[in-house]
Chain A
Amino acid sequence: MLLDAEQLEDGALLEAKVIIAGGGMAGLLLARQLGDAGIDVLVLESGGQSQDARVQSMYAGKMTLGGPSNSQRTMDGYLIASRVRCLGGSGNVWGGKCAPLDPLDFERRDWIAHSGWPLTRSTMQPFYDRACDVLELPHFSVDAQAMTGAPEPLFASGPRRFTARPRGYTRCSGAVANSTYQDYKVAAANHERVRIYLKANLTRIEMSEDGERVAALDVRCLNGRTHRARAHTYILAMGGIENARLLLASSDVHRNGIGNHSDWLGRGFQGHAVIEKEGQTSVQLLRNSAVLAPFDVMNRSKVHIVLGASDDTQRALRGVNFTVTLPRAIGAVTGAPAAALAVAKKLASASTSERREAYFMIEHTPNRESRLSLIRDELDELQMPRVRLDMRFGAAELDRFMPTLAMFASELGRCEAGRVQWRGGAEDLVASMSLSRHHMGATRMAVSAKSGVVDEHCRVHGVQNLYVAGSSVFPTSGIANPTLTLLALALRLSDHLRGRIST
């Protein structure tokens, strides 16, 4: 049922077994799942049914992007442009590109500080499969060939330094043709056990005096009305930035914010970045178009592949995850590069060749200096401190970009598959980055409160009845678009809660 919190009498008390703050992809899936288990669920959603500039402006803040030896960029607009504050959240606009994290992404890698999930890819596999069912995607097996039907087409011989990684597109996005996203929203909104309050902003989490339980939530509306909300169990599903913002801002019992036992709350923020220079990042492939077809991203109905550094490569280079995407054919080069490529083609006895646009992605490793914080003296319309995001890439990944790219170039050459175009060094990587709208890590998952904010069941450490859903719980983020993983975690969380909440 869809309800309007602005129409409630001022000071209303909203009650349910479970309250979910945030009606985006995570919150709505959880609501549906818990509702299916016979649990009464109430969703507090800040926005209305469509985007509204006044509501969206509560996402404004300050942001910088930087890294060692790189010039810092100011990107305040990113905080508003990279998410949507209304029912359905960013699901209304997302690209729908899906991929699971790789098995190594979950592992602790002794050369990467703060790496490792309390979960493994095999633990996650059944939840990935169920998330794929929700999104009407084929299941992602660990074996790319089994999924795409295409063997890795470039590095057929020798050590497998780069391997194929499948990516798929779902129709479950408000932004695509024949979208099924409206059905996704309706499935939650029409659920007999689910009430969704629109225009209901969570502004404070009230803790019990001992700090071990959430006692209630403060809810504010832009028409000035304030309400209270009370439940057995609370779930924050307000997106990768707002989850941390609310925990930081609710500081009356836990002075540094809820779940901030080890000063990790807001820290370890990660965002995927595409590294590309216009007209200057490409790959000349000494193969024909038919062989290269599995790389095409233009056909959304087909799973495509990108090339990723294998586990062995990452281990050998003490490197990080790295992918190359070859989306489409582009025009041939001229001048000196044309001569160089003619020689390469002759040497490989290649009768055909194709230049492909390329972009590179390098894993953003967890870095304590990459963080969200509150600007205490700048408040939004609901008197919430605005957010400040200092997104920092570290030497851990920036210094490994060139060796990994060089290995990729060497592999292409060794297999007579092509040559790679790239000019520049580690010091201009930040300038070459376009950021994805993926917000990960600010409420990271860890077995112990000493190294994270939530436990392996997404429960806030030290708080018995507060959970977090969404990509903010990712301790590391690989290079996979996050939504499939956050939905898989939401399904896992709903299973966990079903057994614990009486109907």
Chain B
Amino acid sequence: MNKHMDRRGLLRLLAGLGAAVVVDQRLAFGASATCSGVFGELDEAAIAELGREYLSQRSDAAAVDAIAKLLAESQDEAKTLEQLRARVLADFTAGRIVNLAGWFVSETEGCVFAALSRCASEV
């Protein structure tokens, strides 16, 4: 099983967003950073399960789209991670949490799983 989200996966992720402009930009960046680069090696099936569970609890896909876009447009892993971290901390500070697979995580983490799982399910 392909545990990394490669360039193909990333393109599918972008296609999933339905934003041609973003795809163009992303292609121009040459897909140097992949999602797998940001979070290390993640089990696709596990991520897909978390993503599905998140989407089953939250109907608003806009937040997921925003995270997917952030991931897709990322050129600098450290910077992307820092941006996500800031969102996660803001979520926890405001009590924006969700229970996935029996664990309380931030809404942003939920969106990350949903964004990654879109891609994972299409690869």
B is bound to A: yes
For residue B11, give the distance in angstroms from its CB to the closest CB of chain A. Answer: 22
- Complex-state Cα separation, A493 to B104, whole angstroms: 47
- Judging by beta carbons under 8 Å apart, are B99 and A336 in contact? no
Q: Which listed residue, A346, A413, A414, A423, touches B39 by the CB 8 Å rule?
A: A346
- Judging by beta carbons under 8 Å apart, are B102 and A421 in contact? yes
B contact patch SS = helix
The tally of residues in B whose CB lies under 8 Å from a CB in A reads 31
For residue A62, give the distance in angstroms from its CB to the closest CB of chain B. Answer: 36
- Judging by beta carbons under 8 Å apart, are B95 and A410 in contact? yes
Q: A342-B42, A346-B38 are in contact. Are A410 and B102 (CB under 8 A)?
A: no
B22 contacts partner chain A, Cβ-Cβ < 8 Å: no
A382 contacts partner chain B, Cβ-Cβ < 8 Å: no
Interface string of B91-119 (1 = CB under 8 A from A): 11101010111111110010011000000
A contact patch SS = helix
- Complex-state Cα separation, A344 to B110, whole angstroms: 11
Q: A336-B49, A347-B88, A413-B91 are in contact. Are A419 and B39 (CB under 8 A)?
A: no
Q: A residues within 8 A CB of B81?
A: 346-347
A1 contacts partner chain B, Cβ-Cβ < 8 Å: no
Q: A409-B104, A413-B88 are in contact. Are A343 and B99 (CB under 8 A)?
A: no
- Judging by beta carbons under 8 Å apart, are B109 and A422 in contact? no
- Judging by beta carbons under 8 Å apart, are A344 and B105 in contact? yes
- Complex-state Cα separation, A414 to B43, whole angstroms: 26
Closest to A338 in B: B46
Interface string of A394-419 (1 = CB under 8 A from B): 00000000000111011111101001
For residue A299, give the distance in angstroms from its CB to the closest CB of chain B. Answer: 29
B31 contacts partner chain A, Cβ-Cβ < 8 Å: no
- Judging by beta carbons under 8 Å apart, are B46 and A344 in contact? no
A280 contacts partner chain B, Cβ-Cβ < 8 Å: yes
For residue A388, give the distance in angstroms from its CB to the closest CB of chain B. Answer: 37
- Complex-state Cα separation, A420 to B50, whole angstroms: 16
- Complex-state Cα separation, A22 to B81, whole angstroms: 64
- Judging by beta carbons under 8 Å apart, are B92 and A410 in contact? yes
Interface string of A55-95 (1 = CB under 8 A from B): 00000000000000000000000000000000000000000
For residue B47, give the distance in angstroms from its CB to the closest CB of chain A. Answer: 5
Q: A residues within 8 A CB of B99?
A: 422-423
A335 contacts partner chain B, Cβ-Cβ < 8 Å: yes
- Judging by beta carbons under 8 Å apart, are A343 and B95 in contact? no
- Judging by beta carbons under 8 Å apart, are B106 and A342 in contact? no
Q: Which listed residue, A337, A342, A347, A412, touches B101 by the CB 8 Å rule?
A: A337
For residue B73, give the distance in angstroms from its CB to the closest CB of chain A. Answer: 18
Q: A339-B47, A340-B100, A416-B89 are in contact. Are A346 and B105 (CB under 8 A)?
A: no
Q: A342-B39, A347-B84, A416-B89 are in contact. Are A336 and B101 (CB under 8 A)?
A: yes
B8 contacts partner chain A, Cβ-Cβ < 8 Å: no
For residue A26, give the distance in angstroms from its CB to the closest CB of chain B. Answer: 41
- Judging by beta carbons under 8 Å apart, are B95 and A406 in contact? yes
A341 contacts partner chain B, Cβ-Cβ < 8 Å: yes
- Complex-state Cα separation, A339 to B54, whole angstroms: 14
- Judging by beta carbons under 8 Å apart, are A414 and B109 in contact? no
Q: A346-B40, A346-B81, A420-B103 are in contact. Are A340 and B113 (CB under 8 A)?
A: yes
Q: B residues within 8 A CB of A420?
A: 103-104
- Complex-state Cα separation, A267 to B89, whole angstroms: 45
For residue A413, give the distance in angstroms from its CB to the closest CB of chain B. Answer: 3
Q: Which listed residue, B43, B46, B85, touches A347 by the CB 8 Å rule?
A: B85
Q: B residues within 8 A CB of A348?
A: 85
Closest to B91 in A: A413
Q: CB within 8 Å of B: which of A315-352?
A: 335-344, 346-348
Interface string of B39-57 (1 = CB under 8 A from A): 1101100110110010000
List the interface of chain A (C-beta within 8 A of B).
280, 284, 335-344, 346-348, 405-407, 409-414, 416, 419-423
State the 7 A-B residue pairs at the shortest beta-carbon distance, nearest first: A413-B92, A409-B104, A339-B46, A414-B92, A423-B102, A336-B101, A336-B49
List the interface of chain B (C-beta within 8 A of A).
38-40, 42-43, 46-47, 49-50, 53, 81, 84-85, 88-89, 91-93, 95, 97, 99-106, 109, 112-113
Besides A336-B53, A340-B103, 10 more A-B contacts (Cβ < 8 Å) are A284-B103, A335-B49, A340-B46, A347-B88, A409-B104, A411-B92, A419-B103, A420-B103, A422-B104, A423-B99
